[in-house]
Amino acid sequence: MPESLSHDGARSRVRSVITTVLLIMISVMIVRDILVRRWGGPTPPPASDVTRQSR
């Protein structure tokens, strides 16, 4: 087997692994965010320095 073909296969495999790992990490972060928002504690009231609209 020519050396260039084996390198291309290895590069393709590494790219595939990196892509899979990144997709799993993003999925975990999204699910974690959804769970925290759903079952997390109540959100704190806005800080006192929040700009308010004038009437």
Domain regions of the chain by residue span: 1-38
- The reported pTM is 0.59
pLDDT tens, residue by residue, 14-50: 999 999 999 999 999 999 999 999 888 776 666 666 6
C-alpha 38/C-alpha 33 separation (Å) is 9
What does each C-alpha distance from 39 to 26, 42, 46 come to in angstroms?
Answer: 20, 9, 20
